[in-house]
Chains A and B, each alone.
Chain A
């Protein structure tokens, strides 16, 4: 079943130099393991291909049911150098939430995940 990340997580992003950080937080604690399993470094790297110029780092905060991603080369130089509308990476959070996950039907049913609208 297709599940939209925006339906199972919330997020906040910010900047540090030319790096944007995106914290992704499970909307329900029991959805965290699923998000942890699906949002691998490779998956996030692929999601932001063509958006960022650098690599992706990934950290887990199981205590907060959250993952933290560092997206390097995300901000056209960052801070005052950047020409981007979103020079401080404030809305990389919702860019991350555009991700759609492929979840086995059984698992989705057990976790009561909201299906993506057709």
Chain B
């Protein structure tokens, strides 16, 4: 793209979804509340891909974030009539089926032909795992150093985190909706800025700015007053919270804003909290596009509910892509019971001892078991400070094992305590705890050269 950059031109990217399960009304509020050019929707967390992979195994037409279809219904008029473009990683392990479902939404709304959907594929490495291992890509666990071969037979999904390039390509091909699989969350915001401003693949500072803009808004309202510890009592009208919008300029500076008349708060402290969220080494925030330096971020108050961000520096990207692998890792269950005053904590402790003695006598051996006392110490452990006698305590016991039967047996030992354990117990109405199969996350790196993305435009 060779556009003459107009320094005063503003491109607005709105965040409408911070995770799969976020506020269903947020996308519509973002496109109706004021001017936006792009709506960015992030649906994928670390193990979401494996859930979607399981759904696809049951039904080959599934495997994408279903919430996105409802979101598209709610924003369709803005896309069709006002030219708002949508970028989402809702495609999961089946971006093509996701695109077809969106086209069906358009058809039902009488908007056939009005959508051009760019579908990004190539992130799915599951069919290629053995070939990759065979070719010497050991897909070593980034934290433990173990090679993937140790859990190979339990792998459920494997997806490379891909960057902005294929999204930019889709926009250049005229797409007004772009659906990806495992894109990085930040690329969903950076790509439209790169497209609009014609940033080059080596404009490291600008690319880093786009990535940091993406980081700030990728968790939705978490930068606009949601989950904000700073002055939380005085954050206005959370019920009507406004999700964040990036107002970006060609030079890589941007302002975080929200629509007028919405609740919440955008301030230097609220944005700073989000800047440090899930942060590793702030000097090197590694993405497929660029290594962004969070120690160069400068935030400035730019009026009510406006924070200006500038000064961001970036460095050349590495030659690796991160791979998100999910594998079956045994089973777990968590059981809870509630004990009331008087001596609630002593009763809960006794119940835990009784339970453990019974589990021991049955010869059950777990890989891990954990007792927590909710209302007393479950969130801060030994750092907790007792202030007065607990009025009630929830005993919470979890176990984990490779053997499903063992975990199953554990779930049957909770309810009996109601009649054959310590007194003043309640809160068991949910019945036996559910045994859950654990799908664990295996982060790895792979050479960039082995991942080829492709873009198809459907309409």
Contacts and interface: CB of A to CB of B under 8 A. Distances in A.
B379 A85 contact: yes
B294 interface: yes
Interface string A76-91: 1111110111100001
A91 B438 contact: no
A95 interface: yes
B443 to A, nearest CB: 7
Contacts of A65: 272
A111 interface: no
Contact of A25 (B47, B272, B438): B272
A25 B369 contact: no
B332 interface: yes
B277 interface: yes
A15 to B, nearest CB: 7
A81 B379 contact: no
Contacts of A84: 370, 372, 378, 398
Contacts of A70: 280
A85 B374 contact: yes
A10 interface: yes
Contacts of A80: 47, 329, 438-441
Contacts of B438: 80-81
A64 B441 contact: no
A95 B379 CA distance: 8
B378 A86 contact: yes
Nearest to A14: B278
Interface string A1-43: 0000000001111111111010101010000000000000000
A61 B294 contact: yes
Contacts of A91: 379-380
B151 to A, nearest CB: 12
A51 B381 CA distance: 7
Binding site of B, secondary structure by majority: helix, strand, loop or mixed?
Answer: mixed
A6 to B, nearest CB: 9
Interface residues of B, number: 50
B396 interface: yes
Contacts of A23: 272-273, 275-277, 279
Interface in A45-97: 47-48, 50-51, 57, 59-66, 68, 70, 76-81, 83-86, 91, 93-95
Nearest to A21: B279
A116 to B, nearest CB: 13
A79 B332 CA distance: 13
A11 B275 CA distance: 11
Contact of A12 (B47, B276, B329, B370): B276
B382 interface: yes
A98 interface: yes
A70 B400 CA distance: 25
A62 B45 CA distance: 30
A106 B4 CA distance: 57
Contacts of B332: 81, 83
B295 A21 contact: no
B297 A63 contact: yes
A68 B272 CA distance: 12
B155 to A, nearest CB: 15
B33 interface: no
A86 B379 contact: yes
A83 B403 CA distance: 16
Contacts of B379: 85-86, 91, 94-95
A76 B296 contact: no
A61 B400 contact: no
A11 B229 contact: yes
B279 A68 contact: yes
Contacts of A15: 278
Contact of A21 (B274, B276, B368, B443): B276
B279 to A, nearest CB: 5
B298 interface: yes
Contacts of B297: 61, 63-64
B143 A18 contact: yes
Given A16-B278, A48-B383, A77-B368, 9 more contacts: A19-B143, A63-B295, A79-B441, A80-B329, A80-B439, A80-B440, A83-B370, A84-B372, A84-B398
Interface of A: 10-19, 21, 23, 25, 27, 47-48, 50-51, 57, 59-66, 68, 70, 76-81, 83-86, 91, 93-95, 98
7 nearest interchain CB pairs?
Answer: A23-B276, A83-B398, A14-B278, A83-B370, A12-B273, A85-B378, A10-B230
16 contacts: A14-B278, A15-B278, A16-B280, A25-B230, A51-B380, A51-B382, A59-B279, A59-B283, A61-B282, A80-B329, A81-B400, A81-B438, A83-B400, A84-B378, A94-B379, A95-B383
Interface of B: 46-47, 143, 227, 229-230, 269, 272-283, 294-299, 311, 329, 332, 334, 368-370, 372, 374, 378-383, 385, 396, 398-400, 438-441, 443
